[in-house]
Structure 1
Amino acid sequence: MALDGIVIANLVSELDGLLTGGRINKIAQPEKDELLLTIKNNRQQYKLLISASASLPLAYITTTNKQSPLTAPNFCMLLRKHLNSAKILSVTQPGLERIIDIEIEHLNELGDLCKKHLIIELMGKHSNIIFCDDAMVIVDSIKHISSLLSSVREVLPGRNYFIPMTQDKINPYELNNIIFKDAILSKPTSLCKTIYTSLTGFSPLIANELCYRASLDGSQAVQSLSESEFLHLYKNIERLMEDLEKKKFTPVIMYEQGEPIEFSSTSLTSFEKAVETSFPSISEVLEAFYQTKETLTRIRQKSTTLRKIVSTALERNYKKFDLQEKQLKDTEKRDKFKVYGELITTYGYNIDAGSKFLECVNYYTNETVKIPMDETLSPMDNAKKYFDRYNKLKRTFEAVTVQMKDTQEELEHLESISNALDIALKEEDLLSLKQELVEYGYMKRKNITEKGKKATSKSKPFHYISSDGFHIYVGKNNFQNDELTFKIASGNDWWFHVKHIAGSHVIVKSNGEDLPDQTFIEAGRLAAYYSKGRDLDKVEVDYTERKNIKKPNASKPGFVIYYTNYSFIVSPDIQGIQQIED
């Protein structure tokens, strides 16, 4: 994720255009390291969210409100004292640093005009929000950094503010061919790393993109560059800086399989398999990207316990299945022991007392066999011994065959729950899965509250519209799969599921019409994506009319059988299929 100097430049340009000349109307501090400023300008109201979180530093214009604590923190109270109704004079960025400087004008207690600076440093774990006077002396900051925490710079009231020069980097706005050549040739690292460690504000993402645009391998050594390759690379950097100076930005998010993977303020041509989506503003990019990431992260965190339960049960059942397979293999000799018993019964009268072997013709195969004998037993006792071994192995075979069938069904059930956990996007989806785990004995009932039980009904299937206008529904869990297939779908609707892999039931409402080929393909892609095969290049999908689907008595949820079906191979890619938010 690249909240780099180029994205900051885009953000500063946007904030300067929207907020300069406006007045600060409200100041809130929803979190200990977060501010929410409400600014009125040109009859519009803007909410500027600023976060100095070590894990997620950001700043953008948002449309959502955040609840603030009843008692405002000290830093918030200080800002309210100085900046209520203050006017924003400018929003700037020093060089291409990951720093935003908001210059503000306000009246002090005596009614005199004063200038202040609200400086936002978006530097990972070193992020901060610092309030300075016009002489750049720190008034206060949202995080206090003493000499015990940093030997480079103290961030405390009364200290002078300065940008820490911890790395010897070049300001890209002052770059020329000679400076760049001297800088990169002096570093014995890869080309990509050399770029982002030499130029201020350049991230590994941008460095890799510039190498790609110059048709160069970012992992190659800098010293291997020819003169023409170096010139081509420099020209690409020069073009990028020209776009920044002219404020020509392209806010984009790169999506893979519907999930955001990167964002930037310039087009990312190096992501060949990802889909690039443009946005009108960088604030919309940041809000969309981080909200989606936050949702996915939160759901994954909340599902940790469920995943552990399912993972443990799967591991236990796979071990059980392997043991049962071994036991079944051991029973393969049972028919041989039966034949030995029969042959001893037939030819036993010829055996001498104390013989260790019986050599005779196997009348089933007409081959000569040599049967081991216990010399301390009579021929009939030897035969009985072989018949006993046969009967024991036969009983084991019958019992293990039934056990393996049960274990296989349990594995399929657990794999389907595991897949449902992978595609869960909301808390109510997790509540449905908890309920299923409780019903089948994987969790104790006390872990499901009455409130949780009621919430399960809120979980709804995914809803899509095909390019031909047909409604497509995708089950999020086994209960929904059963409901979709046997309650929502009618006999002439079409049913899709990946072949021999855990996945969701997909229903296409046909409305009594013949489905176009494109709708079949899109439904198959959805079935492949919402399955354990989503990471494969190609997946085989079965499809048939709903009337051909049967549910065996007493079978687990989501389990069905069918004998009449068609199959085709699709890619698990759902880009371009319209989703409906119900």
Structure 2
Amino acid sequence: MAFDGITIANIRSELDHTLSGGHLAKIIQPEPDELILTVKNNSKQYRVLLSAGASLPLAYIASENKQAPMNAPNFCMLLRKHLSGGFLKAVTQPGLERVISFHIEHRNELGDLKEYRLVLELMGKHSNLILVNDENKIIDSIKRISFNVSSVREVLPGRDYFIPQTQDKLDPMSISEKKFGEAVFSRETPLFKALYTSLTGFSPVIAEELCTRAGIDADAAADALSEPERLHLYHTFEHLIEDVRTENFAPNIVYKNGEPFEYASLELTQFPNLEKETYDSVSALIEHYYAEKELRTRIRQRSTDLRKIVNTTLERNGRTLSLQEKQMHDTEKREKYRIYGELLNTYGYSLAPGAKEMETINYYTNEPVTVPLDPLLSAAENAKHYFARYNKLKRTAEALSERILGTKSDIEHLESISASLDIARDEADLQEIRDELADYGYLKHKGPAGRKKKEKARPLHYISSDGFDIYVGKNNYQNEQVTFKIGGSNDMWFHANDLPGSHVLVKSDGREIPDSTYEEAGRLAAFYSKAKTAPKVEIDYTLRKNLHKANGGRPGFVVYHTNYSMMSRPDIHDIREADNT
């Protein structure tokens, strides 16, 4: 997990510097395993979210509050009794353990000053929030754990508090060079695994980062490193830990294909080709990272029904197209029947009654040909029979040609909608896609009573390095808007060649568009296409005035005969997105 001991050290530092010396003004428990503490310090008010959720334990200074339940849970009432109005002395972390302790002074009912610890253990499914008194006894916890649940440690009122030692790991903050070597270089495993399984608070990402900084292959066998490599790795490790000791943190998020990929409180140099965003506050990073993750997860979940409809219809149309193309292949013999009929009309007069075939010369090719005959029919009747078969297959081919074009058009339309689902960022985008599916009969329209006021979805808006506005449609209706409403005749239009994707428009505003803006627009068109994972994508570009909408064409489908082409990388990490509010 990215929420490792080093990230927690960064959080602890931020919480300690921001909150220590303040007073605990309010405590709420919005979720069964979550607290929000309101701390007043230096004339400011801070909300601290503490989550002991099994799937996502967290701690950070939150920018937004949550609604308190009508009736406070028992644990929340207990905390209010012992901690409300208390003085926050310090926020600590033992070594690089995934544990944060809030040291709070508070007067009891007799007026005696007592010190309590609110301990947050961020340990996956074993995460917990525990209130401990000055005698190191557990007062209570947000999750009570008996020996029936865990044989390692009971978390019950009156029990001694201790951090469970479930793994034999060493503290990176105090480890010696000798102990480091004995722990890491004795393992017959990849080096990065030897690091994170030997050192407390190290995640696989940080272990790989240490290897990258040392210039050593993370997958190399730990016990096979040379002596100079071992010494260099330890010195690199010391530099990394010194950054933690001196609180020289650099919170950053790495993005891959436009989505949050990884984060850490130390600079991640192992991803030189990926987009990176740095933060002054680790709380801001965590809030942004998980909010964006949650949004994308929610959008994927909300789009599941639409994806199912699109994929099912695509599969059905694929089978239909395959059958139609097979039937079209069967009609290709129609010309042979026409020629048979013509040859019978020309040479059939010489046939003997009851003949089963006629051998003659095909006067189109001057090659010998054998024409099969029905011996019960005359030459003229056989010719008539062949012309009937020819005409039937000709009518079938004409009908099939039209149907195949329609089926291919449906498939192309559905593939464009599938691409739109991959790009959708919010509910408004999904609603536009839902509307399009309904408009073309793939979904039923909701009745007026079932409709809600729609939030208006907008195309993406980027600013090129030269200051030109670039607009990107996220679905077919937005593509239509970008090209035919936002676009002027002398603006430049970009699209992935022969692939579903976004319309990208550069507003020229009467200026000459420089090459760098062309290159950035091409990269946007490549990234927002079905080929975004390819190393290079062919991009067509042309003036907006060269585009025409076919009569009766689907939304976002255009025709153009004059264009240029370029090869573009689907990489947009350095292109600035404008505020779209």
Question: Could you tell me the TM-score, scaled by structure 2's length?
Answer: 0.95
Whether the 8 Å CA contact 1:434–1:448 is kept in 2: the answer is: no
Structure 2 equivalent of residue 521 of structure 1? 519
Using the alignment, how far apart are the partners of 2:563 and 2:415 within structure 1?
Answer: 23
Structure 1 equivalent of residue 575 of structure 2? 577
Aligned residues: 580
Using the alignment, how far apart are the partners of 2:341 and 2:485 within structure 1?
Answer: 57
Structure 1 equivalent of residue 381 of structure 2? 381
Task: List aligned pairs for 1:24-39, cutoff 5 A.
Answer: 24-39=24-39
Using the alignment, how far apart are the partners of 2:136 and 2:376 within structure 1?
Answer: 105
Structure 2 equivalent of residue 61 of structure 1? 61
Identify which of 548, 554, 573 aligns with 1:556: 554
Q: Which runs of 5+ in 1 are unaligned?
A: none
Structure 2 equivalent of residue 105 of structure 1? 105
Q: Which piece of structure 1 moves more, 295-304 or 150-159?
A: 150-159
Using the alignment, how far apart are the partners of 1:158 and 1:187 within structure 2?
Answer: 41
Shift of 1:427: 1.0
Q: Deviations over 1:154-210 (max 9, x none)?
A: 222222221111111111123223222222344332222121111111111111112
1:382/1:467 CA distance change after superposition, 3 Å: same
Structure 2 equivalent of residue 542 of structure 1? 540
Structure 2 equivalent of residue 209 of structure 1? 209
Whether the 8 Å CA contact 2:274–2:573 is kept in 1: the answer is: no
Does 2:328 align with 1:311?
A: no
Structure 2 equivalent of residue 484 of structure 1? 482
Structure 2 equivalent of residue 455 of structure 1? 454
Using the alignment, how far apart are the partners of 1:52 and 1:101 within structure 2?
Answer: 13
SS at match of 1:130: strand
SS at match of 2:173: helix
Structure 2 equivalent of residue 52 of structure 1? 52
Q: Deviations over 1:320-374 (max 9, x none)?
A: 1222222222222221222122223322234444544432211101111233334
Counterpart amino acid of 1:304?
A: T
Using the alignment, how far apart are the partners of 2:80 and 2:447 within structure 1?
Answer: 45
1:447/1:59 CA distance change after superposition, 3 Å: farther
Shift of 1:421: 1.3
Counterpart amino acid of 1:365?
A: T
1:20/1:368 CA distance change after superposition, 3 Å: same
Counterpart amino acid of 1:391?
A: N
Counterpart amino acid of 2:542?
A: T
Whether the 8 Å CA contact 1:62–1:287 is kept in 2: the answer is: yes
Using the alignment, how far apart are the partners of 1:277 and 1:484 within structure 2?
Answer: 29
Counterpart amino acid of 2:255?
A: Y
Using the alignment, how far apart are the partners of 1:214 and 1:175 within structure 2?
Answer: 19
Structure 1 equivalent of residue 249 of structure 2? 249
Using the alignment, how far apart are the partners of 1:232 and 1:341 within structure 2?
Answer: 89
Counterpart amino acid of 1:330?
A: D
Task: List aligned pairs for 1:100-499, cutoff 5 A.
Answer: 100-446=100-446, 450-452=450-452, 454-456=453-455, 458-499=456-497
Q: Deviations over 1:516-549 (max 9, x none)?
A: 2222222222222222121111112222222222
Using the alignment, how far apart are the partners of 1:62 and 1:395 within structure 2?
Answer: 70
Using the alignment, how far apart are the partners of 1:136 and 1:360 within structure 2?
Answer: 109
1:375/1:225 CA distance change after superposition, 3 Å: farther
Counterpart amino acid of 1:35?
A: L
Q: How big is the alpha-carbon RMSD for the aligned residues of Structure 1 and Structure 2?
A: 1.9
SS at match of 1:29: strand
Whether the 8 Å CA contact 1:256–1:273 is kept in 2: the answer is: no
SS at match of 1:90: strand
Using the alignment, how far apart are the partners of 1:2 and 1:144 within structure 2?
Answer: 26
Counterpart amino acid of 2:482?
A: L
1:397/1:94 CA distance change after superposition, 3 Å: same
Using the alignment, how far apart are the partners of 2:88 and 2:15 within structure 1?
Answer: 10
Whether the 8 Å CA contact 2:171–2:200 is kept in 1: the answer is: yes
SS at match of 1:284: helix
Using the alignment, how far apart are the partners of 2:159 and 2:141 within structure 1?
Answer: 11
Shift of 1:213: 2.3
SS at match of 1:360: strand
Structure 2 equivalent of residue 566 of structure 1? 564
Counterpart amino acid of 1:549?
A: L
Q: Deviations over 1:197-240 (max 9, x none)?
A: 11111111111112222232222333332222222222222221
Give % identity. Answer: 56
Whether the 8 Å CA contact 2:37–2:49 is kept in 1: the answer is: yes
Whether the 8 Å CA contact 1:419–1:531 is kept in 2: the answer is: yes
SS at match of 1:435: helix
Using the alignment, how far apart are the partners of 1:348 and 1:192 within structure 2?
Answer: 86
Q: Deviations over 1:132-166 (max 9, x none)?
A: 11222211211222323222222222222211111
Counterpart amino acid of 2:523?
A: R
Q: Deviations over 1:290-347 (max 9, x none)?
A: 1111111111111111111111111111221222222222222221222122223322
Using the alignment, how far apart are the partners of 2:359 and 2:332 within structure 1?
Answer: 23
Using the alignment, how far apart are the partners of 1:517 and 1:226 within structure 2?
Answer: 50
Q: Deviations over 1:384-405 (max 9, x none)?
A: 3332332222122111111111
1:176/1:356 CA distance change after superposition, 3 Å: farther
Q: Which runs of 5+ in 2 are unaligned?
A: none
Using the alignment, how far apart are the partners of 2:357 and 2:150 within structure 1?
Answer: 87
1:374/1:159 CA distance change after superposition, 3 Å: farther
Using the alignment, how far apart are the partners of 1:219 and 1:337 within structure 2?
Answer: 68
1:97/1:368 CA distance change after superposition, 3 Å: same
